[in-house]
Chain A
Amino acid sequence: MTFEHIQQILKTKTVGIAGCGGLGSNCAVALARVGVGRLILADFDLVQEGNLNRQFYFYDQIGMLKVAALKQNLFRINPDVRVNTFDIRLCQSDIIEIYGKCDVIVEAFDKPEMKYLILDAVHNYMPDKYLVMGVGMAGWGDNNLIRSRQSDKLIICGDEINAIADECPPLAPRVGIVANMQANAVLEILLGSNEHQIHTEN
């Protein structure tokens, strides 16, 4: 599939991103770069200096709403992307209302309770919807622990081991790997698997 063909397909698609921290901001950037037509962003938080070690924001955006700052950054990369933003702390009914029309939902929350909330909402109220979750990305190193697995329309990306702790902070490389792995899983859902890849040696 050529990039033109890929863009033609992606520009008709809508991807929901729940949370605009390390996973959400980096995943949104990857999806905007490849030309996903519409992104629906939700986060209640403001950009803080401590976020800049992994989240796709800039020093001069400190204090801005994350959804507003991310929208700005996405437009600087791809002015054709349509972005809907919600600066709210999502509850179950919000999730159903905001993400009900998405082709795929990306879970990019920090807290496990919120991860459970969206998993439960999608399974119970939107069972036909793909959900791509990020689970386990704190710390550094251990490249080979990071993986993905699928159960029906649920896809889990991450090492499923390394939670955030004082001695195990989230850092740009591993958070970026998992965020881009989520974006990659979204593309596989929207475009189908890339059968050409195994023939690239010629």
Chain B
Amino acid sequence: MKIILNNKEEEFVGDQFTVSELLQAKNFTFKMLVIKVNGHLVKKSEHNTAMVKDGDDVMVLHLISGG
């Protein structure tokens, strides 16, 4: 499947992933991650159930200290 990940097109083997599987595949292991799939915020408790499919627009944002 092809998805847009942080504004870049990326290709993965398989038809669909859970958000957790996608994070694992990309090795995103930070604590404070914000995930949006097609504009919808995916809560941490939903990472194992929310699906990412072909054509989806995914934003992964790592919240870090500083302000």
Contacts and interface: CB of A to CB of B under 8 A. Distances in A.
Interface of A: 19, 21-24, 107-113, 115-116, 119-120, 123-124, 134-138, 149, 151-152, 154, 156, 158, 160-164, 170, 175
B39 A162 contact: no
A112 B59 CA distance: 17
Contact of B62 (A24, A138, A160): A160
Contacts of B32: 112-113, 115-116
Contacts of B29: none
Counting from the closest, the 10 A-B pairs by CB-CB distance are A163-B64, A112-B63, A110-B67, A112-B32, A123-B41, A164-B65, A151-B59, A115-B63, A23-B67, A152-B39
A120 B41 contact: yes
Given A116-B32, A123-B41, A149-B7, A110 B63 contact: no
B61 interface: yes
Contact of A112 (B36, B39, B41, B65): B65
Interface string B23-67: 000000001101010010100000000000000010101111111
Contacts of B61: 135, 156, 160
Contacts of B34: 116, 119
Contact of B64 (A108, A162, A175): A162
A23 B67 CA distance: 5
Contacts of A162: 64, 66
A113 B32 CA distance: 8
A119 B41 CA distance: 9
Interface residues of B, number: 17
Given A113-B32, A116-B32, A149-B7, A160 B59 contact: no
The main secondary structure of chain B at its interface with chain A is loop
Interface of B: 6-7, 31-32, 34, 36, 39, 41, 57, 59, 61-67
A136 B32 CA distance: 13
14 contacts: A22-B66, A22-B67, A23-B67, A108-B67, A109-B67, A112-B64, A116-B34, A116-B63, A124-B41, A137-B66, A151-B36, A156-B61, A160-B62, A163-B65
A68 B31 CA distance: 34
Contacts of A113: 32
Given A116-B34, A149-B7, A19 B64 contact: no
A163 B39 contact: no
